[in-house]
């Protein structure tokens, strides 16, 4: 990352940023015209390599996206279910082959057959109504079950804006150190990855001196199988927004940036509408409620890149740079967006703050376990009898989520990929060993992450799923470090070759590859990929043995 380039791209502030302008330029044709790129380059005083590097990276900006009119989901669940060939075939009756693109993932994992058309997502039996959808006569009727067992923090109704935001206004005027202490009592940890302390991030940012600071919401929920963040944004949006406002007050930040996946168009619209309502209620802007605190929001629509779920790549993305992972230190709380102190948290993490500051940190800590406090949203895919979003207290037996809430499997399952593509591959015989919390999963050699669950049916080859994971990483790698960029590609080639040719993989070669990925990658994309593959090699040795040299 170039410090000078970050400063340069920040001179216009967050209101007009290069990344957003590139998205606008691509909206008509699918990719920006060369003339527009040159104009933007001159306007932002950057080189051709900067704009070309950015545009050529994103799925919805790159030249290959030109002319695309409809997109088919290629996420893990839709791939495993085998629904997408039929979706593609039905779309080909209405569009030319070069007008059909791909998106990953649309978050419709509860019913599959997912596709995106004219700024909206569709799934289930919607493809059978494509003619009416094109004519504007039918709107998707997506439904999935939502329930809770335990405290029910994130799935609870929160009432009117005026009543709900009294939680926020009651904090204005209080000393930030007092609020930090309350947050520390809660023990709240990040809900999107390895469970890092939220209090540590906010306190570190608070102690930095700067004329401006940012609270960035990582709503780039790209983990196939996960749609819990989407649930919050579309059904409990004010929990997220108030959480960001509280975080801004604690850290001394005056701007909240909500970076939302381009694959979640409905989330973008709902969050934007809710922000406008807050402005009308005078809960945003200068000197809120006469407190001297200034805060407002900026919504950024992403353009299709899984790596932007990594916090430093996300910051580079907002700036308009190629979303490559940054070397740390310095950390975002020191030098983040436009080199300003920045706190990055995901949707579910931030949405917990209203409860914490209404009921107290100790009340939150009393829910769950000693090291994993609060609740967790779990996404169940279409392999369950009751697919949907379920909120449980941390420490709840995984079996309760799967069998009592999810209604059990509707087909024979041999494994579950939990926590996204970098999470652990959990064989079904391990279900009774796990509880929904960070430590239980870590102890058993897995990762809770987003707590998304992708089921692997008995008849789906594990070798094919490993190939899918390698290819996913190869496609989504930012390319900055060799282990991730090259290692994932070599892994994909080996897994494909072993299924098609008279070829056996040298187990030592595979172990060396996984070790290189794990220890040499700059971020969790390359570094986390070996976990599910190691799990597969351990728990499905008999199935995979035919593909390795004796």
pLDDT tens for 371-418 read: 999 999 999 999 999 999 999 999 999 999 999 999 999 999 999 999
3: pLDDT strictly greater than 80: no
> Which H or E run contains 130?
helix 130-134
136: pLDDT strictly greater than 90: no
CA distances in angstroms from 531 to 174, 175, 189, 276, 347, listed in the order given: 44, 43, 22, 43, 25
172: pLDDT strictly greater than 90: yes
The mean pLDDT value of the chain amounts to 95
pLDDT digits (tens, 9 = 90+) for 4-63: 888 889 888 899 999 999 999 999 999 999 999 999 999 999 999 999 999 999 999 999
CA 66 – CA 266 distance, rounded (Å): 23
Tell me the pairing of strands 452-457 and 413-418. Answer: antiparallel
DSSP state of 334: T
CA 325 – CA 302 distance, rounded (Å): 16
Q: Determine the length of the chain.
A: 550
DSSP lists the bridge partners of residue 71 as 101, 116
Residue 143 — pLDDT band, cuts 50, 70, 90? confident
Q: Where are the beta strands (DSSP E) in 261-317?
A: 296-301
Residue 45's region, left for phi above 0, alpha for psi from -120 to 50, else beta, is: left
326: pLDDT strictly greater than 60: yes
- Would you state the pLDDT for residue 142? 85
Q: Reduced to 3 states, what is the DSSP secondary structure of residue 452?
A: strand
- Would you state the pLDDT for residue 2? 65
End-to-end CA distance of the chain: 45
183: pLDDT strictly greater than 60: yes
What percent of the chain lies above the pLDDT cut of 90? 92
Residue 254 — pLDDT band, cuts 50, 70, 90? very high
Residue 222 — pLDDT band, cuts 50, 70, 90? confident
Q: Where are the beta strands (DSSP E) in 213-333?
A: 214-219, 255-260, 296-301
CA 262 – CA 414 distance, rounded (Å): 33
pLDDT digits (tens, 9 = 90+) for 194-215: 678 999 999 999 999 999 999 9
DSSP state of 370: S
193: pLDDT strictly greater than 80: no
For 419-438, what is the mean pLDDT? 96
């Amino acid at each position: 990352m170039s410090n000078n380039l970050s400063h340069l791209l920040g001179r216009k502030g967050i209101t007009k940023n290069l990344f957003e302008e590139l998205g606008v330029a691509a909206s008509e044709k699918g990719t920006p015209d060369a003339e527009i790129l040159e104009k933007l380059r001159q306007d932002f005083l950057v080189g051709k390599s900067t704009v070309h590097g950015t545009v050529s990276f994103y799925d919805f900006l790159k030249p290959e996206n030109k002319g695309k009119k409809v997109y088919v989901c290629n996420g893990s669940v839709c791939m495993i279910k085998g629904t997408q060939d039929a979706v593609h075939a039905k779309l080909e009756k209405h569009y030319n082959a070069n007008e059909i693109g791909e998106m990953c993932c649309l978050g419709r994992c509860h019913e599959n057959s997912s596709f995106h058309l004219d700024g909206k997502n569709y799934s289930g039996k919607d493809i059978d109504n494509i003619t009416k959808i094109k004519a504007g006569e039918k709107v998707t009727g997506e439904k999935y079950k939502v329930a809770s067992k335990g405290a029910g923090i994130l799935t609870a109704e929160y009432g009117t804006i005026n009543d709900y935001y009294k939680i926020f206004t009651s904090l204005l005027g209080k000393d930030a150190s007092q609020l930090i202490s309350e947050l520390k009592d809660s023990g709240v940890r990040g809900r999107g990855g390895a469970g890092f302390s939220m209090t540590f991030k906010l306190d570190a940012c608070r102690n930095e001196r700067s004329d401006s600071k940012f609270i960035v919401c990582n709503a780039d929920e790209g983990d196939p199988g996960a749609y819990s963040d989407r649930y919050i944004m579309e059904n409990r949006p004010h929990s997220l927004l108030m959480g960001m406002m509280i975080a801004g007050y604690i850290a001394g930040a005056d701007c909240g940036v909500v970076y939302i996946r381009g694959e979640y168009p409905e989330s973008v619209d709902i969050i934007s509408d809710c922000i406008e309502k807050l402005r009308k209620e005078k809960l945003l802007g200068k000197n809120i409620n006469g407190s001297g605190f200034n805060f407002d929001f900026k919504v950024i629509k992403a353009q299709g890149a899984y790596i932007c779920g990594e916090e430093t790549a996300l910051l580079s993305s907002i700036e308009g740079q190629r979303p490559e992972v940054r070397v740390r230190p310095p950390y975002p709380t020191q030098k983040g967006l436009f080199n300003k102190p920045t706190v990055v948290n995901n949707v579910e993490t931030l949405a917990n703050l209203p409860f914490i500051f209404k009921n107290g940190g100790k009340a939150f800590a009393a829910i769950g376990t000693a090291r994993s406090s609060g609740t967790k949203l779990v996404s169940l895919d279409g392999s369950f009898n009751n697919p949907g979003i379920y909120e449980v207290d941390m420490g709840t037996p995984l079996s309760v989520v799967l069998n009592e809430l999810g209604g059990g499997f509707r087909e024979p399952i041999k494994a579950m990929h939990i926590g996204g593509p970098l999470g652990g591959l959990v064989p079904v015989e391990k279900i009774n060993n796990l509880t929904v919390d960070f430590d239980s999963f870590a102890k058993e050699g897995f990762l809770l992450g987003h707590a998304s669950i992708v089921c692997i049916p008995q008849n789906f080859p594990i070798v094919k799923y490993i190939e899918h994971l390698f290819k996913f990483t190869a496609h989504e790698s930012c390319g900055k470090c060799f282990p991730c960029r090259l290692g994932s590609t070599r892994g994909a080639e080996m897994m494909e070759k072993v299924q098609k040719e008279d070829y056996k993989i040298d187990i030592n070669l595979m172990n060396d590859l996984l070790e290189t990925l794990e220890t040499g990658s700059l971020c969790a994309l390359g570094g986390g990929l070996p976990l599910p593959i190691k799990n597969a090699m351990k728990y499905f040795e008999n199935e995979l043995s035919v593909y390795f040299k004796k």
